[in-house]
Structure formats: C-alpha cells, structure tokens
Amino acid sequence: MAPTRKGFDCAALEDPAVHLSLVSTNDQGGGSAAVTVTEQTPGSTAGGQLDPNEALMQFLYRAPIGLLQIQADGVIEMINPMSARLLMPLSSNGSLDNLFDVLGTVAPQLRQMVLAFNEASGSICDAMRVETPASGDDNRPLQVLSVSLLKLDESRLMAMVNDVTSEALREQSVLNARLGEAARLDKVTRMPNRTSLREFVERAIERQGEDPSRQFSVLFMNCDRFRQINDSLGHAAGDQVLAQIARRLQTIVHPSDGEDFGRGSERMAGRLGSDEFVVVLCDANSESGVCAVAQNILDALSLPYRVQDRESRLSVSMGIVLVAASNQDADTVLQEASIAMVEAKRSGGARFVRFEPSMHERAARRGELENDLHRAIVERQFFVVYQPVVALQQAGDEACRPPYSAGVEALVRWHHPVRGVVPPVEFVGVAEECGAIGALGEFVLSTACHQFVAWQTELGRTAPRLLAVNLSRAQLNDDGFVAMVSRLLKQSGMPPRQLQLEVTESLAAQDESVRAKLRELKALGITLALDDFGTGYSSLSSLHQLPVDTVKIDRSFVCEAVTSPHHRVLIEATVRVAASLSMGTVAEGVETDAQANVVRSLGCEKGQGYLFSKPLRAEDLAAWLSNSDQ
Ligand code: C2E
Ligand code: CA
Ligand code: CA
C-alpha cells in the first residue's frame, strides 16, 4: 500500500518539541515504501529504555540534513523531515513520491546519471548544486540545494539534500566583489584601469555640470619607444617597468595614499592599457599648476628603471586637456588628450603638449594618411629615387664636381593619386607607427637591389659602386628582418659588400640587442652607415662602440661649415675620429661649391647634396652618370 504524503505537515516536522521516528514498512512486492510517523515526547521511550535502533532513527530524523533512501528509479522509500522541508517547495503536485520527479525541473540529469552509473555501489554525484530560482508568484526565495547520491546496492540509493543557499549567496557576493574589483583594476600595475578612469572622468564632468567653476584636467601619457624594452628585455621585464611607472605616478599624484592610486579622491592615476597611462587632476585648477604636475611626472618617469640587473631609460609623451565647463563626454575628453599626446610624440617625445581644437583636424588627416598608406602598399604607389654620393678627394683641388659617382642613396617616394609625389618626411614616420614600414622597407630594398644589379650590366664601369638604403627602427625590431635582407640579396644577385644600410645615431646607439642585430647584418657581408651624425645623442667618444663603417655628417653641420668655425672644428674632429676607427665619411646636403670645398679640405671622403645632384629616377641617374663621366 503506497502511503499518501500529500498532507505532509512540514511545520510539525520542524517543531523540535515533536519527536518523530521513521519506520520503513515494506510493501508487499508493490515497489513502494511506506513511512510511518509517530509522535513521542522526547525521552519517553517505550519501556523507559532507549532502543539503539530507535535512537538511530531519532538521530536521522533530527539530522539537519535531508536524508532519503530511494529506489533506482527514484521512488522514495524513506525520507526524513529535513528532506521533506527542502523538497516540498519543489514538488509540483505536493507529493514526495519520486525524488527524480520532484527534482525533475531543476536537476533533470539525475535519472540519467543513475542509469549511467555502472558500479555496484559508490558515489554517483557529490554535492551537486541545484538552484531553484526565486519566484514572485508564490513568494518563494532563491534556494540552492546540494544533492549527493550514493548507490548502496543494485536497487537502493541514499540521497543527501542540504540547503546551501546562504553559502552560495556568500560565495556569489565574494565573487561579485572580486569580479567588480578585477574589472576596475589593471592586472599588471594594480592601478585603476580604463573602466575606472572613464568613470572618474565622467564623475568629474558631472560635478562640473553642477559647478562650472570646477575645472579638471586629463594628462594622457604614452611611453616613447616602450616596444624596445619589450623586444630587448622581454615582456616580463616590460611589465616590471610598467609597474615601476605606476609606482612613480602614484608617488607624484597621491603621495599620501599608499597603493590606493587616488581612488575616492580628487586625483586618479591609472593605466589605459599597453604603455598608456592617464592622470586625472580635479584639484589643480590653474594651467600653471597642471603644467607643474605634468613636468614632475615627466622628470620622474625619465629616471632610469632597474630591471633584470640592467638600467633602462625611457621618456614619455604627454597630452593635456584642461576641461573647462563643457558638455563633452569622458570618451571625447580622453580622445582629445590622446590627440595632444600624439602631437607631443611627433614633436620628438619626452614632452607635454596641450590640446588645441585644431589638432582634431590634423589627427583626422593623419588617420586618412594611415588608410592611404595601407592602400598605397597594396596598389604599389611607391617608387624609389637615387641620389648620387660622390667621391670628394679624387677630384683634384679645383674641381668641385667629381668625375664619377661613388654610390647612390635610395630614397623612397609616394605617388599619391590625389596629392601627387609625397616626400618621405610626410609618411615614413607614420608608416613606422602604423606598422606599414616593414612592407615599405622591403619594397625599397628589393627595388633598389634589383636596380643596382641592372645598372651593373647596363652601365658597366660607370655604374654606381655602392647602394645605400635607409633603415628604420621598426624594421630592425622585426625578428625576420635579417633573414629578409639575406633572401633579397640572393634573389636580386646584389653583392652584399656593395650594399650599405643607413641607421640613425639614436638607433645604432641603442641597447645591446639592437647592436647584436646590426652585427648580424654585418655578418651577411653588408656595411653600415651612421646617418645624420651630429643630430642624435651619441658623441664622438662613443663612435668606436657602434658597428658602423661610414659616418654621414648631417646637413645642419655642412650648411654652417662655410660661416662657422665651430662647425668646421666639429666636422674635422668627426673626420679624424672616423678615420682613426677606419670609418669613411660622407658630408650630407652639400649645396654650394664653397661647402664642397670646405668639407673636402676638412678631409671628408665623400659628399652628397643638391650641388652634385638631386635624387633622380633610375633612368635619369643613368644619364647623370654618363654626363659626369665625361
Ligand atoms: P636622409 O636619409 O638624411 O636622406 C637625405 C635627405 O636629404 C633626402 O631627403 C634628400 O633628398 C635630402 N637632400 C639631399 N641633398 C640635399 C641638399 O643638398 N639640400 C637639402 N635641403 N636636402 C638634401 P628625402 O628624400 O626627402 O628623405 C628624407 C628622409 O626620409 C631621409 O633622410 C630618410 O631619413 C627618410 N627616408 C627616405 N627614404 C627612406 C626609406 O626608403 N626608408 C626609410 N626608413 N627612410 C627613408
Ligand atoms: Ca640616409
Ligand atoms: Ca641623412
């Protein structure tokens, strides 16, 4: 006889004054169990003796955990009051006949799990979380149960049901707090991240809306050449530098705040991502106050960073927006600050620049330029011109125009479909920044090498003897660069000893990894020239450390050479130091006979400049060479 449990009195079961015992009565082969509930006064056991079985029953009955014995198909044979209390709200028809039916909507997989369990006995599931969502219809709160199923033998299972709602809620709130915190914190520096910074700026804008006299300012920083640190020391070292930057910013922006980075205060320093940081100042109202903080930051960030027992230096470009009463949003403010930062970078970096509305237009033009550049590479709009580099010393005393070209320098040009021929100063830097320089540099090198080889057969004795090609920093940072040069040499048949790659002082003087790359290039048999010498920061005394074969003295020295004794002394010293290191010298930008005479008399080996020839297209160079040969 199947017992009916429809009117199961859960309240009575929970009443500690009511002592209940549980008895399993076997059905006579019908498959259903029966539960008998008897009420007893606590302690008053039959005959005054506490039967051990009875004691166990009472113990199970009072257990603060739901216990059930069920058949393999889920039919409940025995159930204690806690189970009934926990499961009853889940029962769609108010009955507790079959555990799988009761849990059918929240844990439909249980039945299948039991069927799939092939062992004779053992744990089928352990503390499986089952969630009953809160329901407004019957005022039911969210409830989370933990259900364990243990197979006792072929036909019986034990189920344990536990209310873990408060535990689950606690876990959830800890998780939420952690997620909330993580969502606002930058992992590397533990500073506020983009989300936090945006919110801080939004709050500042709101407060300004309430009180228009509340100016605030946003300082947007991007590290100059941070990639070099990553490339030469590795990303872990890069992260350490970022963390040191964060600490330095913190010290300046909020000296008394410890590691708090200004949360909840008038200032905030945070990291936007990669090598970009932002400082928001709500308490520095005057422009001079903001500039003072900006300069402090630049000074502090330019001090050496000690990572992996080595010192690295970096500088920072900063854009500043002073937000006076406006109806801008946070993104616009940050964007304007970043536009000013780009201006700071383009002016040479290591400085701050204040945002001006006209910068918008320039930024838009630049974006356009980047797009055009990418298209230009695909559509092959670039071409190469060649400027002769002539020998100065063989010419005899009077002649300023030497009889033959010692070599040529390949210079790239862009034939823009609308703007016409665009000079490299207008796009090489942008190409470096937007990642187009790799393809552009490869095009120039390949074109120039093929052209050089073609001249050898076409022109014979008068063909240029050396091909100089400019190299940009970003190309050297590319891991596959040396292999690419080697491949191009082979493909074009270019003799390596006749190729000279030109690098700027600042590039060649860089860390060991750059110099190692340069040595790898030299190992291919090619030579290196130091371009624009005198404009960078390496001095004559460090020339011996650079793996170069030729020094190109910058045009700014050459054009002063006639009038300025000081510049003449510098040129002469350069020539002597270079000669002592067995390096050749080229005077760049020679425009007049007088300049040519001076640099020749100072011992410069070669000259390059409009006096001899402007950069020429390949076909025009052949004509120039045959003219100068006469
Ligand atoms: P650079 O390497 O110093 O090249 C010499 C620049 O000075 C060339 O300008 C040349 O036309 C110019 N020049 C030569 N003689 C005279 C002179 O007598 N007077 C004056 N005023 N200028 C003279 P260009 O072709 O506009 O190139 C400018 C810079 O762009 C180059 O300076 C170089 O740094 C870069 N560049 C050019 N082509 C490439 C390239 O293929 N790759 C890379 N990475 N950079 C390139
Ligand atoms: Ca050059
Ligand atoms: Ca140069």
Say yes or no to pLDDT of 481 above 50: yes
Taking each helix axis as running N to C, give the angle between helix 437-459 and helix 481-492, from 0 to 180 degrees, rounded to the nearest 10: 20
pTM: 0.61
- Residue 538: pLDDT band (50, 70, 90) is low
Averaged confidence pLDDT in the chain: 86
Q: Quote the pLDDT of residue 394.
A: 67
Distance from the CA of 411 to the center of ligand 1, in angstroms? 6
Q: Are 241 and 189 in contact (CB under 8 A)?
A: no
* Predicted local distance difference test score (pLDDT) of residue 24: 43
- The alpha carbon of 43 and the centre of ligand 2 are apart by a number of angstroms equal to 103
CA of 597 to the centre of ligand 1 (A): 22
Res. 402: pLDDT tops 50: no
Ligand 1 pocket, CB under 6 A? 387, 411-412, 423-425, 428, 441, 444, 470, 472, 502, 531-532, 555, 589-591, 608-610, 615
Report the distance separating Cα 567 and Cα 551, nearest Å: 16
Q: Lowest-confidence range among 48-52, 500-504, 527-531?
A: 48-52
413, 470, 616, best to mutate for ligand 1 pocket (most atoms within 8 Å of CB): 470
Gap between the Cα atoms of 389 and 459, Å rounded: 17
Helix H or strand E segment including 409:
strand 405-416
The protein residue whose alpha carbon is closest to atom 13 in ligand 1 is 589
Mean pLDDT of the 349-365 span: 92
CA-proximal residue: ligand 1, atom 30 (nearest): 424
Residue 307 to residue 301: CA distance in whole angstroms: 14
- In this prediction, residues 43-50 reach a mean pLDDT of 54
The pLDDT value given to residue 511: 66
Closest approach atom of ligand 1 to CA 591: 18
Structure-model confidence comparison of residues 362 and 554, the more confident one: 554
Number of the ligand 1 atom closest to the C-alpha atom of 384:
41
What pLDDT, on the 0 to 100 scale, is given for residue 260?
47
Among the bound ligands, name the one nearest to the CA of residue 444. 1
- 431 alpha carbon, closest ligand: 1
Quote the ligand 1 centre to 589 CA distance (angstroms). Answer: 9
Distance 406 CA to ligand 1 centre (A): 18
Ligand 1: nearest atom to the Cα of 608:
15
- Probe residue for ligand 1, chosen from 382, 427, 428, 443 as the CB with the greatest number of ligand atoms within 8 Å: 428
For residue 49 the two structure tokens come to 């003796």
Each residue's pLDDT tens digit, 291-321:
999 999 999 999 999 988 888 889 999 999 9
Q: Helix, strand, or coil here: 539? A: coil
pLDDT of residue 415: 96
| Position with higher pLDDT, 180 vs 139 | 180
CB 553 within 8 A of CB 604: yes
Band (355; pLDDT cuts 50, 70, 90): very high
Reported as a pLDDT band with limits 50, 70 and 90, residue 424 is very high
Can you state the angle between helices 512-523 and 226-233, rounded to 10 degrees?
70
146-158 average pLDDT score? 95
What pLDDT is attached to residue 34?
38
* pLDDT for the residue 150: 96
pLDDT of residue 404: 58
Task: Give the Å distance between the CA of 410 and the centre of ligand 2.
Answer: 8
CA distance 517 to 238: 20
Three-state SS annotation for 200-237? HHHHHHHHHHHCCCCCEEEEEEEECCHHHHHHHHCHHH
Which is higher by pLDDT, 618 or 505? 618
pLDDT reported for residue 31: 39
CA distance 490 to 493: 5
Cα separation, 11 vs 5, in Å, equals 14
Distance 471 CA to ligand 2 centre (A): 8
CA of 469 to the centre of ligand 3 (A): 11
Q: Which contiguous run of DSSP H or E holds residue 499?
A: strand 499-504
Residue of 384, 409, 411, 422 to mutate, ligand 1, most atoms within 8 A of C-beta: 411
Strands of the 267-273 sheet, one edge to the other: 267-273, 276-281, 216-223, 316-323, 351-354
Q: Answer yes or no: are the C-beta atoms of 412 and 380 closer than 8 Å.
A: no
The number of the ligand nearest the C-alpha atom of 608 reads 1
Query: CB within 5 A of ion ligand 3: which residues?
Result: 531-532, 588
- Closest Cα to atom 27 of ligand 1: 424
How far is the centre of ligand 2, averaged over its atoms, from the C-alpha of 567 (Å)?
A: 21
User: Residue 490 Cα, ligand 3 centroid: separation in angstroms?
Assistant: 27
For residue 18, is pLDDT > 90?
A: no
CB contact set of 186 (below 8 Å; sequence gap of 6+): 192, 193, 246, 270, 271, 273
| pLDDT for res 12 | 41
Average pLDDT value for residue range 194-209: 92
What is the predicted pLDDT for the residue at 256? Answer: 60
Interval 47-103: pLDDT, tens: 556 788 888 888 888 888 999 999 999 999 999 999 999 999 888 888 899 999 999
pLDDT at 230 over 80: yes
Nearest ligand 1 atom to the CA of 588 is: 15
Q: What is the pLDDT of residues 576-591, one digit of tens each?
A: 999 999 999 999 999 9
Question: What size, in residues, is the chain?
Answer: 630
pLDDT at 213 > cutoff 90? no
Nearest protein CA to atom 46 of ligand 1, as residue? 470
The percent of residues above 70 in pLDDT, for the chain, comes to 86
Q: Which atom of ligand 1 is nearest to the CA of 590?
A: 18
* Shortest-distance Cα residue to atom 43 of ligand 1: 470
SS3 (DSSP) at 593? helix
State yes or no: pLDDT of 4 exceeds 50: no
Tell how strand 550-553 and strand 527-533 pair up.
parallel
Q: Average pLDDT of 440-457?
A: 97
Average pLDDT estimate for 251-256: 78
Residue nearest to atom 3 of ligand 1 (CA): 532
Which of 362, 349, 197 has its CA nearest to residue 270?
Answer: 197
